[in-house]
């Protein structure tokens, strides 16, 4: 199994997704919020590119649907939810689908849909995402959503932790040079995720906007056993422990 990492959205242009399994990483905060939503009973998260598209899509769904997302880190005017994982509580999202649009995360998800199997990874579900990827029996590419077209340190670190775990789970893996760079970064920060608060530019920016509690929620390892994965254009929960789509998904 070949394991590759697209360190930035630009690098994704060079990756042939057709035979691959893809994992999209946007630690701060879309990936973490999507995991939180599904963990709290949201049946599906539908990623779309723009706020206008989100409103249009919501109109095609029944009245339980929620609008979520951000631009420049802030909730979009008129939306029900922003992009904080702390907002995606059972009280808000249980039983309700969410249409989500964010600056980097949903863009990467829509691009990665070209893969036959696409999942979502963050620090909070790194172990589960690695187990899911290892069970696919396909070459893997981990896609870092990054910041605009550039690199986001926290995404590379989380991608690297997933790579390191996949390499431990599978006997024969071959890492590309980019996957090795990610793994080295993941190993460095995995032992102390709090260092990302100082080192990662977007973490500093979020702290400056008053989102310290979000940083605590996002820079935490393996609190979820769930992997959001794409089925018919929506992210639904996959639970490795159940070795099949979780009951929440099929309920």
Question: What residues line the site for a copy of itself (CB under 8 A)?
Answer: 7-8, 10-11, 13-14, 147, 149-153, 156, 176-178, 180-181, 184-185, 188, 199-202
* CA proximity to 85, closest of 77, 242, 98, 72: 98
Rank residues 150 and 208 by Cβ distance to a copy of itself and give the closer one: 150
Rank residues 179 and 235 by Cβ distance to a copy of itself and give the closer one: 179
**Residue 214 CB, nearest distance to a copy of itself (Å)?**
18
CA 209 to chain centre: 22
Task: Give CA–CA dist 133/128, Å, rounded.
Answer: 9
Rank residues 4 and 117 by Cβ distance to a copy of itself and give the closer one: 4
Rank residues 36 and 157 by Cβ distance to a copy of itself and give the closer one: 157
Rank residues 8 and 102 by Cβ distance to a copy of itself and give the closer one: 8
Q: Can you tell me whether residue 146 is helix, strand or coil?
A: coil
Q: What is the C-alpha end-to-end distance of the chain, expressed in Å?
A: 34
**Residue 215 CB, nearest distance to a copy of itself (Å)?**
15
Task: Give CA–CA dist 40/132, Å, rounded.
Answer: 20
Residue whose tokens read 């997704």: 17
Task: Give CA–CA dist 7/157, Å, rounded.
Answer: 10
Question: Which run of H or E residues covers position 70?
Answer: strand 66-71
**Residue 185 CB, nearest distance to a copy of itself (Å)?**
5
**Residue 171 CB, nearest distance to a copy of itself (Å)?**
18
């Amino acid at each position: 199994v070949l394991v590759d990492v697209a360190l930035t959205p630009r690098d994704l242009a060079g990756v042939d997704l057709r035979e691959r399994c893809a994992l999209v990483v946007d630690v701060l905060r879309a990936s973490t919020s999507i995991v939180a939503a599904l963990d709290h009973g949201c049946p599906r998260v539908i990623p779309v590119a723009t706020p206008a598209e989100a409103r249009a899509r919501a109109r095609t769904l029944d009245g339980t649907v929620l609008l979520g997302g951000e631009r420049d880190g802030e909730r979009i005017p008129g939306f029900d939810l922003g992009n904080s994982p702390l907002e995606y509580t059972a009280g808000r999202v249980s039983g309700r689908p969410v249409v989500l649009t964010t600056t980097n995360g949903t863009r990467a998800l829509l691009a990665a849909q070209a893969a036959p199997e696409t999942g979502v990874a963050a620090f909070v579900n790194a172990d589960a995402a690695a187990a899911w990827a290892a069970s696919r029996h396909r070459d893997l590419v981990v896609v870092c959503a990054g910041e605009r077209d550039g690199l986001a340190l926290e995404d590379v670190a989380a991608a690297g932790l997933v790579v390191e775990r996949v390499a431990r789970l599978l006997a024969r893996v071959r890492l590309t040079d980019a996957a090795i760079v990610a793994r080295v970064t993941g190993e460095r920060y995995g032992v102390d995720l709090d260092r990302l608060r100082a080192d990662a530019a977007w973490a500093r920016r979020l702290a400056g906007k008053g989102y310290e509690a979000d940083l605590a929620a996002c820079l935490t390892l393996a609190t979820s056993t769930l992997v959001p994965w794409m089925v018919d254009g929506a992210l639904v929960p996959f639970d490795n422990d159940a070795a099949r789509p979780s009951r929440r998904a099929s309920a």
